[in-house]
Amino acid sequence: MHSNIEISCPWKILLGLHLDAEQFADLVRQETAMALFRDGKISSCMAARWLGVSRIHFLFQAMKEGANLLENNQDDFDRETSLL
C-alpha cells in the first residue's frame, strides 16, 4: 500500500533548482529516505525499497554522504548482517 502526500512548494524554489515538480518530488523522497536512515528511523533495507534501488546501492550512496552505517556495537552488526 502506498500513500501520496501533497507538498506546497513556491515556484521560485523549483526555478532556482532547475527542477520540474516530478524531479523535485524525487529529490524530496531521496533526501527524506536518507535523513530517516541517518536518524535511525528506518533501516537501509526499507529506505532502498522505498527508493526502488538495491540495498547495496543505497548503502554506497549513504557512505558517500557520510552516514554512519554502524554504531560499532554487536546489536547493529547482528541486525545488519541478518539482512544479507
| pLDDT the model gives residue 1 | 76
pLDDT tens, 51-62?
999 999 999 888
pTM score above 0.85: no
Question: DSSP readout, 8-75?
Answer: ---HHHHHHHT--HHHHHHHHHHHHHHHHHHTTSS-HHHHHHHHTS-HHHHHHHHHHTT-----SSHH
Segments making up each domain of the chain, as ranges: 11-82
pLDDT tens, 17-43?
999 999 999 999 999 999 999 888 998
| pLDDT the model gives residue 78 | 76
Count the neighbouring beta carbons within 10 Å of the beta carbon of residue 37. 24
Q: How far apart are CA 63 and CA 61, in angstroms?
A: 5
